[in-house]
A and B are shown apart, each in its own frame.
Chain A
């Protein structure tokens, strides 16, 4: 999705548990002299203690969307509000959407995948999640806390001053198991350079897989988290039809449990790499650049999800090879 032409406005989705430091981060973004006009959509107007014309209050209204064979949820208020805001030219250069601490971030992200008006005007930039290094321990049992980490492209491991170095190591390792794709930054007071926050282009298909090679090569961790991420790396060519059947069946049956998915594929008979990404049951893909001469043609897929049967997925994927 989301061709990054100059006409689209990038949007950052900001998530994090209550008290993790989202508001502090929002205030930094709003006051930082980055020369960008940033509009912020918040859930609780009072939370952002800043007088800014471009802070807009939103209700977290979830619309169910049953569209042919896929069923997903979107944030209806975002469509209304952004549609209204986008009429005025040059009103803002970047949009930040804050979700409340107890919200599933999926409906926000899906809104930009599904809605034809949003797709033309808005380009998802990244999901940024602020994690309270100390208090996250009390929240692991909450689905929202895990999903916020699972969906993230950028994670601020915040309030590092409140935990011991050893606790921090363990926490970071646990988060990496859950989400091997996200860039993790250790922060205090949500202090992080704007370059790491805004303009990340994590959803840009042209940069679909800038995955840490270490993650791709890593062996399975010995953690027993229900939310985890893993990569499939296979050489060889894929049978386009088999791949299609497998993917559509997978998304229909496991879509609810797949949070994020990305991949570069080598499809038989095609000279170009095929790149794709997905959020739950929504998938977006396109042919990318041609394979270079001498480049090893291979397939790389990354899954982040809950209760995913890694062995089965690996085996099923291999069945799609020619």
Chain B
């Protein structure tokens, strides 16, 4: 059920499919190309040599977030049991021979009864940030110690995002986004004030812009440091996903957002005064669960409840539609080189596609 898009192009073809026992909550690629996934049943698996290796078996509580450190040395997972588990070095295989040691659980940080539903590694070092109710804790994997605890205070932490240069971290929740400097954790955070709650937040790859999707169905985009954000409205519901393209077509990267089943792609006009203009992409007829730009091109992937994974060429038209999750997709991730795409399904499907040789030249 893969391959043939609306124009008959094959950009990506299915390489492998496996399954977890429940809704796949997260998929993640480390730099070295192996895949990890987690499920609502609490499983954590890594995919190697075409097999799934269980790091954590199914239990009663879900794992909700999963991420590899920037150097690929650590894998962290958090969930409803309040534990943040950190494994060191995923084993890699070459010609059937094990090259490195097994994935080893090196830390299990207990935070029950809080849920840990958001976590992210610093883009420049092995610092892990994870949500803890109204706080975010920063933990150093190299020394295995907590560095600081940031009080978001206004509400539970709804999202967090490191600035790509690693110099700050943005935390979203009720009242807007607060940005802490990693250089001096004790400094007061910079507040991007909003009249409602900010549910998702994302930095552009160059770290110049920060976008936030808000509870009142708006998006705020701020050129970081400027006091005047742009506001974008007209969405039918909450903004559930935000993603920036790595490089833009002109002076700024593109910003794509999804709200219920709709996608809008925003392009900044040359003159600041003209602001950003949107192009609406229609394909899905149910809620979009994940939306991600390719790491090096303008290829945009959207995965939805309707069981379709759309690949949008140049973030404009449907280049290909991938399927394989009968009751809908739940998450997706591009490999770091952009040559592979992984998606999770709501019935536990885990699918990997790889770039088709014939599909060169997109984006």
Contact = CB atoms under 8 A, between A and B. Distances in A.
20 contacts: A53-B60, A59-B133, A59-B155, A61-B156, A61-B174, A65-B216, A66-B196, A67-B217, A76-B156, A76-B158, A84-B80, A84-B115, A87-B23, A87-B25, A88-B41, A115-B238, A116-B236, A116-B237, A117-B238, A117-B287
B22 A67 contact: no
Q: Residue among B197, B237, B260 with the most chain A CB within 10 A?
A: B197
A84 B156 contact: no
Given A57-B114, A61-B156, 13 more contacts: A57-B113, A61-B155, A63-B155, A63-B174, A64-B196, A80-B156, A81-B115, A84-B80, A87-B25, A87-B62, A115-B238, A116-B260, A117-B238
A103 to B, nearest CB: 16
B102 to A, nearest CB: 29
Given A65-B196, A116-B237, A53 B61 contact: yes
Which secondary structure dominates where chain B touches chain A? loop
Nearest to B117: A84
Contacts of A84: 62, 64, 80, 115, 117
Interface string A47-87: 00000010001010101111100000000110011001001
B227 interface: no
A218 B220 CA distance: 53
Interface string A285-308: 000000000000000000000000
Contacts of B197: 63, 76
Nearest to B79: A84
A115 B196 CA distance: 14
B195 interface: yes
B330 interface: yes
Contacts of A116: 236-238, 260
A89 B156 contact: no
A140 interface: no
A45 interface: yes
A89 B347 CA distance: 9
Nearest to A115: B238
Given A59-B133, A63-B155, A77-B155, A87 B330 contact: yes
B161 to A, nearest CB: 17
A67 B80 contact: no
Interface of B: 22-23, 25, 40-41, 60-62, 64, 80, 113-115, 117, 133-134, 155-156, 158, 174, 195-197, 215-217, 236-238, 260, 287, 330, 346
Nearest to B154: A61
B51 to A, nearest CB: 25
Nearest to B61: A53
Contacts of A63: 155, 174, 196-197, 215
Contacts of B64: 84
Contacts of B40: 87-88
Interface in A8-65: 45, 53, 57, 59, 61, 63-65
B340 to A, nearest CB: 25
Nearest to A88: B40
A89 B195 contact: no
B245 to A, nearest CB: 27
A53 B112 CA distance: 12
| Chain A to chain B: the 8 pairs with minimum beta-carbon distance, closest first | A88-B40, A87-B23, A61-B155, A116-B237, A87-B40, A63-B197, A57-B113, A53-B60
Nearest to B158: A80
B220 to A, nearest CB: 14
Interface string A262-306: 000000000000000000000000000000000000000000000
B113 A45 contact: yes
Contacts of B23: 87-89
A291 B175 CA distance: 48
